[in-house]
């Protein structure tokens, strides 16, 4: 009788423990879904090779545009006239 009481007591504790674990797992799932909603689609992994390559290409494009702007502002040099021959 005592052994069955102890066994039943442990069984109840195990059932309660399982229910608590399931409850916690469900709440973690809810937190995960809410986090996905708030993070949106704008977040990217900065170490993703695609993101790194895209950043480098954008930087190179900006450098090329800056160089093109400088080149467009250049004026042709004045002609050098010969003063005399030595």
What is the C-alpha separation between 70 and 64, in angstroms, rounded? 10
Residues 6+ apart with CB under 8 A from 51: 44, 45
The pLDDT, as a whole number, for residue 8 is 65
Give 7-66 pLDDT, tens digit per residue: 566 677 888 888 898 899 999 999 988 887 877 667 778 889 998 999 999 999 999 999
Could you state, in order of their start, the residue ranges of all structural domains in the chain?
Answer: 2-70
């Amino acid at each position: 009788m005592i052994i069955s009481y102890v066994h039943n007591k442990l069984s109840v504790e195990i059932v309660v423990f399982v229910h608590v674990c399931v409850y916690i797992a469900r709440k973690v799932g809810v937190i995960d879904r809410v986090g996905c909603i708030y993070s949106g689609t704008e977040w990217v992994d900065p170490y993703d090779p695609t993101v790194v390559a895209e950043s480098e290409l954008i930087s190179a494009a900006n450098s090329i545009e800056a160089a093109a702007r400088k080149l467009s502002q250049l004026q042709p040099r004045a002609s050098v006239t010969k003063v005399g021959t030595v």
